[in-house]
Amino acid sequence: MKKKRDEVSHEKFSKEKISWKETYALNRRALGLWCRECPMLFVSSGLHSMIAALIPYLTLYFSARLLDELAGTRMPERLTKWVILLLSFDAAAYFVKALAFRWKEALRATLHYRGEEILSQKMLDMDFAAADDVATHNLLSQILQRERWSGWGIDRIYRHFESLMEELFRMLGAAALTVSLFRLPVRQEAGWLTLLNNPLCILLLLLVMLVITVLSPYLATKGEMCVLDHDETMKFGNRIYFFCVAMFQDEKRALDMRMYRQDVFGVNRMKETLDPGTGVLHTMERDARGRMGGLFALSIAVSRSFTWVVYLFVCLKAWGGAFGVGSVTQYIGAIMAFSKGLSGMLKALGEMKVNSDTLKKIFAFLDIPNEMYQGSLTVEKRSDRKYEIEFRNVSFRYPNTESYVLKNISMKFKVGERLAVVGQNGSGKTTFIKLLCRLYDPTEGEILLNGIDIRKYNYLEYLKVFSVVFQDFQLLSMSLGENVAAGSGRESWKASSVNGQESRKALAGNGQEGTGRYDRERAVQCLQKAGLSAWLAAQPKGLDTILYKDLEEEGVQISGGEAQKIAIARSLYHDAPFIILDEPTAALDPVAEYEIYTRFNEIVGDRTAIYISHRLSSCRFCDEILVFHEGHIVQQGGHEALLADGDGKYSALWNAQAQYYVEG
């Protein structure tokens, strides 16, 4: 019989129980990470926690002195002194507390975003092979989903630190005000109440209070563990919810949403998933009425029973003449505060243990190793662009798979050549480009740049050899110029040439080099080469035109064709010796496509250009064509020669497309 989702989830969690030793190590590491990221947050939080915890004791102490004076001699001078001291210390303490609070909150406001930045930066820093791995994305998804539905995660460390500090100072303050309670004896004439002076009675009382104080947070922690038992089902429900909400808000889905009433599907899926009676919530709802709810309720009941014990003991000692009525207020308040502090500290420790399972996942993500060798050789920067790439018996299979995507690929790129890469879906074209750009390393064989294995070159320098327009390219909701010049801080590949040096000097003279600014004239030229002259002229703000409306209300929505031309302009701006275009005209109309191809040589210049395309008409403009099929290069040559081979794969692909353009 198929196991219920909540039972499977519980079994999974039980197998991953974490010891207190591991809990300590995980939380210590997380705290160290935050202290490096934002050290002053913990200084300000510690200061605020100390002041917040100790302020009540100032009021409690001075109030007790006032009550003692009112119940005693009632001397005006002493009453005035206690009132002035109470008001003065109270005002000063709250003033400092307010300053510490504002300091702390100003830093805390960025905490969540810093946590997001840590995860995002790891994605950017890891090897592309790891970033492209489904397991990596699943792990990151688990981390984010758990944070969204229950708040567990690295951000929680700060809350635990704040709680522990506040409860610790509360306990210290309470202990200072409580010591005399056990030191002051009941008068001998109090009869049977003198039993309260017996050390065994005091020890028994402390034991009872300790058991109650520890038991309450223990039960609360067990309740939290019950909540975590539903982690898998709640993450699933949370994922459905956010997917549907995002689907309703995505403008790209608006047409299909209207035409096919996909909103009905989304709403129904949300109702089915989140319905308290039948969806993912029903197991938690059932547990809330049963074991989980019972544990939380029992925790509160046990906590309240502590109040009865404290009141009974303090009032009996006061009745026995150990101290005055003012001290009753002091001792009851102090003991209750001490118990609350200890209980809060234990509760925080329990939450830290529960949160450790999430921390373990976070550190598993952050500890994903970078295994790709980064290389050390400097890539020669040649003004004549004399670069040659050779694939020598290259085979490749993706990690954790057995089948080869590419097998025994051997070929060379000639300098300045226009190369087309064609083939059916799944033939290995995109993988070929990934290997060329060293996003992956070959499983077998080697790729050479000017006769040297590309793995020996400095990785970041080697990437600069290429400008790529990927099929699923992305533009940013920033200005047009910033999109074209994205990453323009890197050195131009013509920097070593005479013209390049003059260009860099001119740029430095304008205060643009190294400041994140860009060469506006060059950006305009690239946009014009990409076929956007008229569109650019029509924009009132020119290069300062904001794309899309995500961040600016004045942003402009651009068509797919316009976006593709901007992406082409971006690849031209970076002026790398190799330019790779993956379906460069897929979003363009036939007229715009023809314009791009007729000006192809002008656009590409003296670069070596590599095209991946399903439109074989583009191949007519290329010097060499590689035909991929099932991971092999099955044909290589010029358009006319390949077309003349009537039995070849290229001819079959060409004729399959040509039939739609031939009149019947």
With contact defined as beta carbons under 8 Å apart, do 293 and 287 qualify? yes
Angle (CA) 412 415 421, round 5°? 50
Cα–Cα distance for residue pair 490/165, rounded to 1 Å: 46
**What secondary structure letter does DSSP report for 151?**
-
DSSP string covering 437-494, please?
A: TTSS--SEEEEEETTEEGGGB-HHHHHTTEEEE-TT----SSBHHHHHTTTTTSPPTT
Which tokens is 261 given? 């009433």
pLDDT block averages, 10 residues each, the chain of length 664: 37 59 92 88 87 79 76 78 82 87 87 88 90 88 81 86 86 79 78 80 79 78 73 71 74 74 75 66 70 79 74 80 75 78 82 90 94 87 76 91 91 83 86 91 93 92 88 87 75 40 41 59 91 91 90 86 88 87 70 69 79 77 87 89 87 76 50
Look at the alpha carbons of 261, 263, 269, 271 in this order and tell me if their dihedral is positive or negative: negative
Cα–Cα distance for residue pair 258/256, rounded to 1 Å: 5
Cβ neighbours of residue 498 under 8 Å, at least 6 residues apart? 383
**Three-class SS of residue 415?**
coil
Closest CA to 60 of 173, 166, 172, 209: 173
Strand partners, 632: 629
Reading phi first (left if > 0) and then psi (alpha if -120 to 50, else beta), residue 426 is in: left
Which pLDDT belongs to residue 496?
37
Angle (CA) 350 12 235, round 5°? 80
Which helix (H) or strand (E) covers residue 608, if one does?
strand 608-612
Strand partners, 633: 628
CB atoms within 10 A of CB 255: 9
Closest CA to 237 of 274, 267, 264, 265: 274
pTM across the whole model: 0.72
Closest CA to 13 of 225, 221, 168: 225
With contact defined as beta carbons under 8 Å apart, do 93 and 53 qualify? no
Which pLDDT belongs to residue 276?
63
User: Checking DSSP bridges between strand 389-396 and strand 418-423, what pairing results, if any?
Assistant: unpaired
Which pLDDT belongs to residue 510?
41
Cα–Cα distance for residue pair 130/398, rounded to 1 Å: 11
Cα–Cα distance for residue pair 93/86, rounded to 1 Å: 11
Cα–Cα distance for residue pair 238/65, rounded to 1 Å: 55
| Phi, psi dihedrals of residue 84, rounded to the nearest 5° | -65, -45
Which pLDDT belongs to residue 410?
92
**Please, is 619 exposed, middle or buried when counting C-beta atoms within 10 Å of its C-beta (0-12, 13-18, 19+)?**
buried
Which tokens is 519 given? 């060469």
Which tokens is 352 given? 């830290």
Task: Write down all domains in the chain, each with its CATH number in brackets.
Answer: 21-366 (1.20.1560.10), 389-658 (3.40.50.300)
How far are the Cα atoms of 555, 651, 654 from residue 639, in angstroms, in the given order? 43, 9, 10
Which pLDDT belongs to residue 278?
64
Cα–Cα distance for residue pair 14/564, rounded to 1 Å: 51
Which pLDDT belongs to residue 85?
83
Which pLDDT belongs to residue 397?
92
Cα–Cα distance for residue pair 517/523, rounded to 1 Å: 11
With contact defined as beta carbons under 8 Å apart, do 345 and 188 qualify? no
Q: Which amino acid type is present at position 254? A: A
Cβ neighbours of residue 282 under 8 Å, at least 6 residues apart? 275, 276
